[in-house]
Structure 1
Amino acid sequence: MDVVMYEVHVKGFSKLLPGVPEELRGSYAGLAHPTSIAHFKRLGVTTLSLLPVHYCIDEPHLAERGLHNYWGYNTLGFFCPDPRWAKAEHRNDPTAVTAEFRQMVNALHAAGLEVVLDVVYNHTPEGNEFGPTLSFRGLDNITWYRLAADDKGRYENLTGCGNTVRCSQPRVAQFVLDSLRYWVADMGVDGFRFDLAPVLGRTRQGYDSNAAFFTALRQDPVLAGVHLIAEPWDAAYDGYQVGRFPGRFLEWNDKFRDAVRGYWLGAGAGVGRGEFARRFMASSDVFHHGQRLPTASVNFVAVHDGFTLADLTSYSTKHNQANGEDNRDGRDGELAANFGAEGPTDDAAVNATRQRVRHALLATLLLAQGTPMLCAGDEIANSQGGNNNAYCQDNATTWLNWEQADFRMTELVAQLLALRASEPLLRHPRWFASGPGDACIAWYAPSGHEMTPHDWHDAGQRAFGAQLREAGASAPRLMIVFNPDAEPLPFLLCNGPWQLVLDSSGESAAPLVLAGQPLNVPARSLLVLRHP
């Protein structure tokens, strides 16, 4: 199955969703309501990646400000679904909360949808050595936490959260595996996305892809068939481990995010054709080793952490004042562009440009090789008002705004995923090659010739195209053309004829283009053509 992931918050998705009864909105039951399921099926996604649903508590600094940890990355109960996301009548009854969660999973499965949980085994809410004693610190501090080598009274902080769980300790590893098995065997989930995943493989010598925890995970029969997805970085000096996870792991690929943003948004000098092409083809320079496949690259443009897709094209800087940290929190350097106005505007030209770029970003994400991941709300142009770290905003900032939804985006996502499903070359299970008999890709300049080394290094030219050929075929099957520039351009096509099947800008008709004829490629657009 071609996995198409959809990262979603249980509450935020349905809290304001028309068609879901008021008493179910924002709950596990609301996420599995027929109205919610109809939206997922309309899009064509296959796998819901839920933000943390383990029992979570608020950090002291949030409680002091009257805020709450909405995202949930502060787990205290590793075998318990968070009662906050159950129906109001169930929240004080753990048995009812658990039953509602199971019913949600069953309903989603019945609709053909998988459920993946975002899990946090890298730290606990006990903070640093001055934090509260809530669980493991009071039970067996030296077993559960990584302590400084030169001072056992201090914690190693490889997570940015004050402490680091000692996953290399056998009893700790057993606890984590027991938790994972419980959520699969008893609750029915289909996989896990591991927050700050390098912590799982840390030994005293640093990160080790052959660490004992990974070996135990690989050998566990209950976990043998589930999705394993890594956030492949933590806060250690060697924290960036993209491409270095073992076996079945898929990995969030921030190189894809930055290249795609830089190419279409033109941040700084913009991203060149070579870097963009590598990321579009599943980052073989990162993942093509051992037995790993293109699907190892989890491609994304926006996720919960950072700007939404709409805000990425509406704000040049973050606006996190509501978080109470004087706008110091959140990621700088989002590679964003506002196209002439910061935030909402009545300028029709600015809004048209924003929409065009959003469409190109979505098309790139959903047609690239690898495993695509869409962030909930991006398919309706949902905004968080420029807040790129809304972890503590359990309010209209993070609840999807269905009243102002841009359903043109929804239709585009559905069209793109239908095209992806119908064309095996857009979800190829193996790496493209250049040998005879292999599925191949060839890159073309707008003048119609194959890209040369000079073309790849020409920073002044950014438009180009790719022809994809099936294994053993004498002619290419698909052509994808990219034009990130602000003006349309003629693109000379070879190996035709070609039938235009998708224009992300919505400008083009669908003519038959013969070989040797120029095709007018609209500004800031991605085109897909098929050999008739």
Structure 2
Amino acid sequence: MPFPLCPPRFGARLGADGVRFSVWSSAARRLWVSIFDAAGERELEHIPLEPQSEGVHSTFVSGLAPGARYGFRADGDYAPERGLWFDPDKLLVDPYAVAIDRPYRYDPRLAARRGEGGDTASLIPKAIVTDLPAPLASQPPLFRAGGLIYELSVRAFTRLHPDIPEAQRGTIGALAHPAVIEHLKKLGVSAVELMPITAWIDERHLPPLGLSNAWGYNPVSFMALDPRLAPGGIIELRDTVVALRAAGIGVILDLVFNHTGESDELGPTLSLRGLDARAYYRHGEDGRLVNDTGTGNTLACGHAIVLEMILDALRHFVRHTGVDGFRFDLATVLGRTASGFDPDAPLLAAMRADPELADRVMIAEPWDIGPGGYRLGGFRPPFQEWNDRYRDDVRRFWRGDGGVGALATRLAGSSDVFAGATRTRSVNFIAAHDGMTLADLVSYEHKHNAANGEENRDGHDENFSWNNGVEGKTTDAEVNERRERDLRALLSTLFASRGTIMLTAGDEFGRTQSGNNNAYAQDNEITWLDWGNKDLALEEHVAALAALRKSVPALSATDFLIGQPLSGRDMPDVEWLSETGTPLEVAEWNDPERRRLTMLLDGGDAGGGRLAILFNADRRSTAFALPPRGGFWWRGALPADLRAVEGGLLVPGRSVLFARESAVEGER
């Protein structure tokens, strides 16, 4: 029996002959709804909202229909040092708007003090009264832990795609194009993770530099899609989700509930700040905004009204688009209380218990920059977590300053991080939207962020990256060959890892950002995927890895590898061997110079075959011996032409190779 769908209390609710507007503020003395003409330019009416109870203000306006444009205004004390920003000259976007009529554009007048900047109605998007589509029938998520998440920026991914009609490039609808779906299926993608698609504003320092926010991690609206990405509104997203689901691909939305684009004390007044900044944002004992996000403000996720708003936003996307779930940016903020992070904080507990959300995919970026903000492994199931320790340990192993012990721990599911659990909740990744691309990781020793206009001060300084061309005697051909080997090795490591794996769009064919590791402000060729210059051989390698991962149950399982037989099996789930085919000794585990490892998996299939994954991070080719077993023989799985030599299988330098054990048929 389906659960009852309770509509949100706030926003613009259509009735038979008009619209009821409701908004919350505990501190405003007066509030109004401003009704605009069809172009959103001329203010037609300025109607008071009546106080109800517990901070609710509402009114019914007859005669309005879908498509009407509106905004709110609020008046009260103006004392920014005490978190009070009331200014009736500031038109405010409804926090519950489900559509807006134009993108946000930064203008200094939006940040002007009361009485100094004039009316901002001409500078602000207008919310649109929308007749939402009927909720979709509830379906379980397609994505399951252990699958492949493909992280992408809608605009960067589609902007230069040659098969997509030019008018559709850069939009959510472009993701439903057959050429896109074919590419995703080729890679074995379980779910696409869309970087923020709700409406955002540029940071104030970007327009003077001629730059704009390309990533969307600076939201103002939590339910309204950015018109640049979704000119067709919520229906465009819904149709795209349906098309991807029909191809067996889920959709995960990357949402930002840790801060808003209203920024610090010098930022613009756009919505929550003008309604009740003291309630919506966290403030310190000195009355100043808390900045646990590094963006100037931090949402007060423990406040009941903020908790309600976030839950309503999540339900909105589940009900009306059918998405599989969500990834939460700087998710530690969602669990912050007065005493610090709590995995059972009200919002996190409510998300886990909500009947409409409990079965959705939930992925935490488990850190913020506040006190005690690094919380990897600290969230409760069903949250999966971005695992940056996996990222760094894998990078360091292939760079040459990380050992096989750390590598094995990450390959086995990071049980040290998720202690006490029976299954890993790790989202394993080597590169993501923030940081160097995979190709840049093996090409640049240091970041190159000059294009961001901050004199290369922004972005991480420690990337655990390396430059394959630093040796003076190395030719261009040798450099390219080394980079290609390292890329294949890194990708193979990712696909051999326990837990969910994540690949960022374009890394499968060698995309580059020319060493820029913080390209958030580059809405240009730096971030747009260059489909015309793909490394086709690398892409085919990733497709082969995806096919292998799907064909061997042990690769996509989420149980921790423990070195013991699983129920009903007669061999250990994993054995860790040296290149000689013998178990690693304690001294070898701790040897910082050891660059080779064999991961021998019980394949988990009915045929009883094992899978050997051979890691050779040395530049020299090495013969790996594999333990024999009566009735079975070893054959190459990836690449298929794995060469047998005296003493075992030959693994070229800087390579990961796969071999499968098969039953012997006849004399060999």
- 1:474 deviates by 12
Please provide the CA RMSD for this pair: 1.9
Give, as a single letter, the amino acid of the residue that structure 2 aligns with 1:134: L
CA distance in 1, matches of 2:444, 2:250: 34
Q: Counterpart of 1:19?
A: 163
| SS of equivalent residue, structure 2 residue 601 | strand
Alignment of 1:99 with 2:235, yes or no, is yes
- 1:139 deviates by 1.1
Change in Cα spacing, 1:473 to 1:512, as seen in structure 2 (3 Å) is: farther
- The superposition leaves residues 357-408 of structure 1 with CA deviations (integer Å, 9 ceiling, x where unpaired) of 0000000011211101000000110111111111011111110001111011
- Give TM-score scaled by structure 2 length: 0.74
Of 329, 337, 357, 2:458 maps to 329
Alignment of 1:351 with 2:504, yes or no, is no
Give, as a single letter, the amino acid of the residue that structure 2 aligns with 1:181: R
CA distance in 1, matches of 2:410, 2:470: 30
CA distance in 1, matches of 2:565, 2:238: 50
Of 291, 306, 309, 1:157 maps to 291
Q: Counterpart of 2:40?
A: none
Q: Counterpart of 1:85?
A: 229
Q: Counterpart of 1:93?
A: none
Alignment of 1:110 with 2:246, yes or no, is yes
Q: Counterpart of 2:302?
A: 168
- The superposition leaves residues 439-473 of structure 1 with CA deviations (integer Å, 9 ceiling, x where unpaired) of 52111112221111111012222201011125799
Of 257, 262, 269, 1:121 maps to 257
Give, as a single letter, the amino acid of the residue that structure 2 aligns with 1:280: L
- 1:289 deviates by 1.8
Alignment of 1:139 with 2:272, yes or no, is no
Change in Cα spacing, 1:139 to 1:321, as seen in structure 2 (3 Å) is: same
Q: Counterpart of 2:620?
A: 487
Alignment of 1:192 with 2:326, yes or no, is yes
Is the 1:499–1:511 contact (alpha carbons within 8 Å) kept by the matching residues of 2?
A: no
Of 514, 517, 520, 1:385 maps to 514
Is the 2:449–2:517 contact (alpha carbons within 8 Å) kept by the matching residues of 1?
A: yes
Is the 1:498–1:512 contact (alpha carbons within 8 Å) kept by the matching residues of 2?
A: no
CA distance in 2, matches of 1:103, 1:24: 14
- 1:429 deviates by 3.4
- 1:431 deviates by 2.2
Q: Counterpart of 1:33?
A: 177
Change in Cα spacing, 1:26 to 1:520, as seen in structure 2 (3 Å) is: same
Is the 1:116–1:227 contact (alpha carbons within 8 Å) kept by the matching residues of 2?
A: yes
Q: Which runs of 5+ in 1 are unaligned?
A: 91-95
CA distance in 2, matches of 1:470, 1:523: 25
| SS of equivalent residue, structure 2 residue 502 | strand
Change in Cα spacing, 1:523 to 1:144, as seen in structure 2 (3 Å) is: same
Which of 1 and 2 has greater Rg?
A: 2
Change in Cα spacing, 1:3 to 1:448, as seen in structure 2 (3 Å) is: closer
Alignment of 1:316 with 2:316, yes or no, is no
CA distance in 1, matches of 2:254, 2:556: 25
| SS of equivalent residue, structure 1 residue 277 | helix
Is the 1:297–1:370 contact (alpha carbons within 8 Å) kept by the matching residues of 2?
A: yes
| SS of equivalent residue, structure 1 residue 61 | coil
Query: What pairs up with 1:251-400 in 2 under 5 angstroms?
Result: 251-266=385-400, 270-290=401-421, 293-294=423-424, 296-341=425-470, 347-400=476-529
Change in Cα spacing, 1:460 to 1:330, as seen in structure 2 (3 Å) is: same
Is the 1:265–1:357 contact (alpha carbons within 8 Å) kept by the matching residues of 2?
A: no
Is the 1:76–1:125 contact (alpha carbons within 8 Å) kept by the matching residues of 2?
A: yes
Structure ranking higher in helix proportion: 1
CA distance in 1, matches of 2:555, 2:314: 33
- The superposition leaves residues 410-458 of structure 1 with CA deviations (integer Å, 9 ceiling, x where unpaired) of 1111100100000011112322334444452111112221111111012
- The superposition leaves residues 34-66 of structure 1 with CA deviations (integer Å, 9 ceiling, x where unpaired) of 111111011111100000000111111112222
Is the 2:644–2:650 contact (alpha carbons within 8 Å) kept by the matching residues of 1?
A: no
- 1:169 deviates by 0.8
- 1:510 deviates by 3.8
CA distance in 2, matches of 1:118, 1:131: 24
Is the 2:642–2:649 contact (alpha carbons within 8 Å) kept by the matching residues of 1?
A: no
CA distance in 2, matches of 1:471, 1:417: 17
- Give TM-score scaled by structure 1 length: 0.92
- The superposition leaves residues 479-513 of structure 1 with CA deviations (integer Å, 9 ceiling, x where unpaired) of 1110001111122221343111114xxxx724578
Change in Cα spacing, 1:61 to 1:471, as seen in structure 2 (3 Å) is: closer
Give, as a single letter, the amino acid of the residue that structure 2 aligns with 1:264: W
Q: Which runs of 5+ in 2 are unaligned?
A: 1-143, 663-668
Q: Counterpart of 1:241?
A: 375
- 1:265 deviates by 2.1
Q: Counterpart of 2:14?
A: none
Q: Counterpart of 1:54?
A: 198
Change in Cα spacing, 1:346 to 1:448, as seen in structure 2 (3 Å) is: closer
- The superposition leaves residues 77-127 of structure 1 with CA deviations (integer Å, 9 ceiling, x where unpaired) of 1111111113xxx4xxxxx32222222222112211111111100001111
Change in Cα spacing, 1:406 to 1:473, as seen in structure 2 (3 Å) is: closer
| SS of equivalent residue, structure 1 residue 6 | strand
- 1:237 deviates by 2.4
| SS of equivalent residue, structure 2 residue 529 | coil
CA distance in 2, matches of 1:472, 1:401: 39
Q: Counterpart of 1:525?
A: 655
Q: Counterpart of 2:641?
A: 509
CA distance in 2, matches of 1:181, 1:418: 34
- 1:19 deviates by 1.2
CA distance in 2, matches of 1:471, 1:391: 42
CA distance in 2, matches of 1:247, 1:462: 35
Query: What pairs up with 1:214-233 in 2 under 5 angstroms?
Result: 214-233=348-367
Is the 2:643–2:650 contact (alpha carbons within 8 Å) kept by the matching residues of 1?
A: no
Give, as a single letter, the amino acid of the residue that structure 1 aligns with 2:575: A
Is the 1:500–1:512 contact (alpha carbons within 8 Å) kept by the matching residues of 2?
A: no
Is the 2:552–2:605 contact (alpha carbons within 8 Å) kept by the matching residues of 1?
A: no
- 1:21 deviates by 1.1
